Structure 1
Amino acid sequence: MVALAIFSTGLFAQKNNTSNVQRPKLVVGLVVDQMRWDYLYRYYDKFQNDGFKRLLNQGFAVNNVHIPYIPTYTAVGHSSIYTGSVPAIDGIPGNDWYEKSLGKSVYCTEDESVQPVGTANVKVGSQSPKNLWSTTMTDQLRLATNFQSKVVGVSLKDRASILPAGHNPTGAYWFDDSSGNFVTSSYYMKQLPKWVNDFNAKKVPDELVKNGWNTLLPISEYTESSPDNSPWEGLLGSAKTPTFPYNNFAADYQKEKDNIRTTPFGNTLTLKMAEAAINGESLGADSVTDFLAINLASTDYAGHKFGPNSVEVEDVYLRLDRDLGDFFKYLDKTVGAGNYTVFLTADHGGAHSEGFMEAHKMPTGFYGEGAKKMYNQLLKDKFGVDKLVLSYTNSQIYLDNKLMAENKLNEDEVKDFLINQLNQDKSILFAVDMKKVAQSSIPEPIKTRIMNGYNWQRSGDIQIIYHDSWLPSYSKLGTTHGAWNSYDSHIPLIFMGWGITKGETNKDYKMTDIAPTISALLKIQFPSGNIGNPITEVLGK
């Protein structure tokens, strides 16, 4: 394959004539939600040349990238990718967590001080990055250019648009299930820009779903997947079985617009919105570097619904491959081949379905059903005090410190007792006091990943690590993620375009190395909480 001609073209200076800093016109971050690393090669023979293969053949593939913390969830992943940091520092330990100081569960981007823009749905629109403590590489680009750079975040998910776009972007937009439109909040602006209103007015989702959902290729060619209608798959919309074709999907979308999230059309919609952002904000059109942060979320929704070995998930990836090819051609045409830099990665992977594992004689099982109630009963029987467990979230147990103090209970004694009980559970590999992880007999890399994921103000008191391939009881259909194991933590990472050399490496790297690599490419300061290092092999000389 011939590499992109990117090393002698597309070099230019900033608007400030005193600076000759060379940067690309545009950086595009593509985060494919729940994309396991092995998908690159499981479906490789069915990919066309313009999407994933273009990235692999013209870019630099970093094949041994792992997430250095737990839990491996969406908000945590996007925060880590863009801050180069971990929950202990950047303040995002989960999609949700129990905030003891508030006495309630908190969603990662919720913000009651802001109002919805573009929707009447208060819950959908009351969102901002206020819970993120560290700056992002997008923040640092804005700072480095005295806020001349434009930064836009786009996703079906609020958190996957908001957290990558940082604290002071040009805009962040996400999908509103109640209206079928992309919306934002008053944190960013008072009203939607004209280009967003124009895009929403086109009713792109209606057009995408009008013919239902059938396989891109003849279904007999989906040899990388389990038979259609496997018993561990969930149901989509009004379908009675998880089988193609989904002929009633257009009607299902009109009834419940969130249904589009679980199909390849959600990714298509997101990339069309990204193209509208490039045109509407003139991204990459002048000498000041801009940044477009895109999350492709339908891969995650489909994975949760059907599991990694389903025909549905394979079809989502084959169609995403075509969509990426079209998007790269759009970038070539509008920004110019050789003038932009792309990186593609994932926020986390995903486990095989429990039913799939059992059917193929692999170790598996379910855990956690009625956990909070059970743990409270254990403590009540031992200490005579009820409701000592406030929450069981992110595989962490939150204890009521105030209630323990009121009843003159020794906190360490309570934790030690519960941990000893937990370690008798056949589903549990380790249970550990979050404050004593460093002194525990837990092997690496699990020990460090627990410490990196422990935010002392927002995480629980006891961390539970379950046996390999055991899933929470709510995932009896489809799958989920969140564990330290390779199926959840081993993610793809490919760079392509301006300033990127061609090649690959199998050296050990971390998700936290992405932000400093892009920062080094752009010659900007690392994000404030960064703990990663630039992947120097990637950067062209």
Structure 2
Amino acid sequence: MKRYLLAMFLLLLMSPLKAQIKNEKPKLVVGIVVDQMRYDYLTRFWNQFGEEGFKRLVNNGYNFKNNHFNYVPTYTGPGHASVFTGTTPEYHGIIGNGWFDKFEDRSVYCVSDESVQPVGTESEAGKMSPHRMKSTTFTDENRLHTQMKGKTIGIALKDRGAILPAGHSANAAYWFHGQDEAKWISSNYYMSDLPGWVKEFNNSGKAKAYLKTWNTLRDIKSYTESGVDENNFEFGYQGKEKATFPYDLKTLAAENGNFELIKATPFGNDLTAEFAKAAVEGESLGEDDITDILTLSFSSTDYVGHNFGVNSKEIQDTYLRLDLAIGDFLAYLDKTVGAGEYTVFLTADHGGVDVPAYLKSRKIPSGYFEDVKMNEKIEKFVNEEFKVDSLIQNISNTQVFLDYKVLKEEDLDAHEVQQKIAHYLLQQKNISRVYTREQLQSASFTEGISALIQNGFNQERSGDILFVLDPGYIIYPEKGTTHGSGFMYDTHVPLIFFGKGIKPGSTFEHSVIPDIAPTISALLGISFPDASIGRPLVEMLED
């Protein structure tokens, strides 16, 4: 009898707990990635932001102020994959936006897939899938946990920004094809035909309407957080002599890829947000107690950053407009899903360095690395040192790939070849560190750039010798900017959680990008992604 009463007591005790766990799950999780968003954009433009966008997320959510990427390279493909898999390129295999495939002896793109067909277009731009990503995402795990009842939709202007976050089992991923079409498209990896709501959006003319004049949202004189509008550090657009406001996009379109131009303006983010709203309605996301996931990547910030740089009026205006778009989208979720019924996180796929030419004008050590000349020097050295042609199979992404067939045919020792090439590279100007395959496979680095290099090194896909440039040096033209390094300007990015299950607060404690996926998994009570190495950020989860 005592055992029976004890069992009944435990059953009564656990029943509310089970209900509580079920009810605490958000109806919708929205994972936002802002392409090329440095952490200091939050603080730099803070006084210019409204109350409903970034400020609402920060003031009512939990802000991780010391959040970093813990690997190299910091590019879009690896960034999006790492956010949603909870691991690094060492395990998920997306080692760049593109890379040299030593087994196929060709360069490959991170989401290209010749086995699929485009949907919504006849362009090759539709032949994409996540098949190169080796691990699961938390979006995959939620699909499995809910017996495929919880939906996953991925959206971004960039194909890789839509596909990799949505994972392998997504209901759909959509990306924007500009050129002469201005359509959201997909591939038959996901579906045989676009849903009616996507066709309706494509036929509405909303996308084409964004070819309009881009002027500053506010009086340009109030943009005191950025440099002067006319300078020598920006590309601008073809057909306009000066990279200065305003920009008549309709007039400039013909010389700038027609509707592709929308991507390279803040209006690309507005278009993305509008399409996301259509997805929430069209797919009935967040309408029941089974958690759905929307992955949303704002790509235009990256295009504008590459074109105009970190310190430009254009990047400031882009973020002020993105602030409005995020605020409007949150208000839409309040209305449709319900305030307090959804959870959002916002982060970035990488940061970006100030234009080195600008930094040099301010006496900051920086500059440009001529990779083509360096590649020629490496090949010449190898030919002279080993008396063999074609020993190097490829040089790309600051990696040297050796041809192992030639090594075997010429009876050369791989260790010796790696060491000699590494020693030669280390003597070259503006190369600060060099690593060999043997080092990265045998050593265990725990801090600094060395650890980041190792976390980004995939034994199957990476090269045999990897080199690191000095801080502030990039492989890029002398206008605009880029990213990819393990230095703070590329690794330090925002991480904010907001909504159901999240308590307000902030911390300067160190966190890393792979912590995001296990945190969302813990919130949802689902399995962590299969290759996850991050930790749940329990300090911000409600008890």
The two structures have a TM-score, normalised by structure 1, of 0.94
1:437 to 427, 437, 440: 440
Following the alignment from structure 1 to structure 2, what is the Cα–Cα distance between the partners of residues 191 and 237?
36
The Cα of 1:432 is off from its aligned counterpart by 1.2
Following the alignment from structure 1 to structure 2, what is the Cα–Cα distance between the partners of residues 218 and 275?
30
The two structures have a TM-score, normalised by structure 2, of 0.94
2:105 to 99, 103, 106: 103
**Matching residue of 2:5:** none
The Cα of 1:185 is off from its aligned counterpart by 0.2
2:419 to 413, 416, 419: 416
**Matching residue of 1:6:** none
Residues 34 and 349 of structure 1 are in contact (CA less than 8 Å); yes or no, is this contact kept in structure 2?
Answer: yes
Tell me whether 1:449 sits opposite 2:444 in the alignment: no
Following the alignment from structure 1 to structure 2, what is the Cα–Cα distance between the partners of residues 503 and 443?
29
Following the alignment from structure 1 to structure 2, what is the Cα–Cα distance between the partners of residues 242 and 538?
43
Following the alignment from structure 1 to structure 2, what is the Cα–Cα distance between the partners of residues 387 and 217?
57
The Cα of 1:398 is off from its aligned counterpart by 1.2
2:399 to 384, 388, 396: 396
Following the alignment from structure 2 to structure 1, what is the Cα–Cα distance between the partners of residues 445 and 227?
36
The Cα of 1:273 is off from its aligned counterpart by 0.6
Following the alignment from structure 2 to structure 1, what is the Cα–Cα distance between the partners of residues 204 and 193?
18
Amino acid at match of 1:85: T
The Cα of 1:208 is off from its aligned counterpart by 2.2
**Matching residue of 2:46:** 44
Superposed CA deviations along residues 360-384 of structure 1, whole A, max 9, x for unmatched, are 1000011143132221111011111
Amino acid at match of 1:133: K
**Matching residue of 2:134:** 133
Following the alignment from structure 1 to structure 2, what is the Cα–Cα distance between the partners of residues 439 and 173?
41
Amino acid at match of 1:252: L
**Matching residue of 2:500:** 498
Following the alignment from structure 2 to structure 1, what is the Cα–Cα distance between the partners of residues 395 and 170?
34
Tell me whether 1:512 sits opposite 2:514 in the alignment: yes
Determine helix, strand or coil for the equivalent of 2:395: strand
Tell me whether 1:167 sits opposite 2:168 in the alignment: yes
The Cα of 1:222 is off from its aligned counterpart by 1.2
1:522 to 505, 521, 524: 524
The Cα of 1:18 is off from its aligned counterpart by 13
Residues 60 and 495 of structure 1 are in contact (CA less than 8 Å); yes or no, is this contact kept in structure 2?
Answer: yes
Superposed CA deviations along residues 137-169 of structure 1, whole A, max 9, x for unmatched, are 000111110000011000000011000001111
Determine helix, strand or coil for the equivalent of 2:30: strand
Determine helix, strand or coil for the equivalent of 2:207: helix
**Matching residue of 1:484:** 486
- Structure number with greater Rg is 2
**Matching residue of 2:193:** 191
Residues 226 and 312 of structure 2 are in contact (CA less than 8 Å); yes or no, is this contact kept in structure 1?
Answer: yes
**Matching residue of 2:276:** 274
Amino acid at match of 2:252: D
Residues 377 and 386 of structure 1 are in contact (CA less than 8 Å); yes or no, is this contact kept in structure 2?
Answer: no
**Matching residue of 1:222:** 223
Following the alignment from structure 2 to structure 1, what is the Cα–Cα distance between the partners of residues 445 and 432?
10
**Matching residue of 2:12:** none
**Matching residue of 2:246:** 245
The Cα of 1:59 is off from its aligned counterpart by 0.5
Cα pair distance change 1:362/1:443, threshold 3 Å:
farther
Determine helix, strand or coil for the equivalent of 1:63: strand
% same residue:
45
The Cα of 1:170 is off from its aligned counterpart by 1.1
Instruction: Tell me whether 432-441 or 214-223 shows the greater mean CA deviation.
Output: 432-441
Determine helix, strand or coil for the equivalent of 1:495: strand
Determine helix, strand or coil for the equivalent of 2:523: helix
1:358 to 347, 354, 360: 360
Residues 372 and 391 of structure 1 are in contact (CA less than 8 Å); yes or no, is this contact kept in structure 2?
Answer: no
Residues 205 and 265 of structure 1 are in contact (CA less than 8 Å); yes or no, is this contact kept in structure 2?
Answer: no
**Matching residue of 1:7:** none
Determine helix, strand or coil for the equivalent of 1:528: coil
1:385 to 388, 394, 408: 388
Determine helix, strand or coil for the equivalent of 2:371: coil
**Matching residue of 2:4:** none
The Cα of 1:219 is off from its aligned counterpart by 1.1
Cα pair distance change 1:144/1:440, threshold 3 Å:
closer
Determine helix, strand or coil for the equivalent of 2:229: coil
Instruction: Tell me whether 427-436 or 485-494 shows the greater mean CA deviation.
Output: 427-436
Instruction: Tell me whether 110-119 or 410-419 shows the greater mean CA deviation.
Output: 410-419
Instruction: Tell me whether 392-401 or 420-429 shows the greater mean CA deviation.
Output: 392-401
The Cα of 1:442 is off from its aligned counterpart by 7.8
Following the alignment from structure 2 to structure 1, what is the Cα–Cα distance between the partners of residues 94 and 371?
25
Amino acid at match of 2:173: A
**Matching residue of 1:151:** 152
Residues 50 and 325 of structure 1 are in contact (CA less than 8 Å); yes or no, is this contact kept in structure 2?
Answer: yes
The size of the alignment, in residue pairs, is 523
Structure 2: which 5+ runs fail to align?
Answer: 1-14
**Matching residue of 2:9:** none
1:203 to 186, 189, 205: 205
Determine helix, strand or coil for the equivalent of 1:200: helix
2:318 to 293, 316, 319: 316
Following the alignment from structure 2 to structure 1, what is the Cα–Cα distance between the partners of residues 340 and 209?
33
The Cα of 1:87 is off from its aligned counterpart by 0.8
Residues 29 and 342 of structure 2 are in contact (CA less than 8 Å); yes or no, is this contact kept in structure 1?
Answer: yes
Superposed CA deviations along residues 396-441 of structure 1, whole A, max 9, x for unmatched, are 1111111222222221221111111111112011011032137679
Residues 435 and 467 of structure 2 are in contact (CA less than 8 Å); yes or no, is this contact kept in structure 1?
Answer: yes
Superposed CA deviations along residues 88-116 of structure 1, whole A, max 9, x for unmatched, are 11111111111111010010011100000
Residues 434 and 451 of structure 1 are in contact (CA less than 8 Å); yes or no, is this contact kept in structure 2?
Answer: no
Determine helix, strand or coil for the equivalent of 2:154: strand
Following the alignment from structure 1 to structure 2, what is the Cα–Cα distance between the partners of residues 256 and 403?
46
**Matching residue of 2:80:** 78
Residues 432 and 440 of structure 1 are in contact (CA less than 8 Å); yes or no, is this contact kept in structure 2?
Answer: no
Determine helix, strand or coil for the equivalent of 2:24: coil
**Matching residue of 2:31:** 29
Cα pair distance change 1:189/1:232, threshold 3 Å:
same
Following the alignment from structure 1 to structure 2, what is the Cα–Cα distance between the partners of residues 382 and 220?
59
**Matching residue of 2:11:** none
Following the alignment from structure 1 to structure 2, what is the Cα–Cα distance between the partners of residues 18 and 36?
37
**Matching residue of 2:298:** 296
Following the alignment from structure 1 to structure 2, what is the Cα–Cα distance between the partners of residues 17 and 308?
48
Cα pair distance change 1:240/1:203, threshold 3 Å:
same
Following the alignment from structure 1 to structure 2, what is the Cα–Cα distance between the partners of residues 320 and 496?
17
Following the alignment from structure 2 to structure 1, what is the Cα–Cα distance between the partners of residues 174 and 140?
17
Following the alignment from structure 2 to structure 1, what is the Cα–Cα distance between the partners of residues 22 and 363?
61
Following the alignment from structure 1 to structure 2, what is the Cα–Cα distance between the partners of residues 441 and 540?
36
Amino acid at match of 1:253: A
Superposed CA deviations along residues 335-377 of structure 1, whole A, max 9, x for unmatched, are 1110000000000000110111101100001114313222111
Amino acid at match of 1:407: E
Amino acid at match of 2:517: A
The Cα of 1:229 is off from its aligned counterpart by 2.1
The Cα of 1:225 is off from its aligned counterpart by 1.0
Cα pair distance change 1:84/1:318, threshold 3 Å:
same
The Cα of 1:477 is off from its aligned counterpart by 1.2
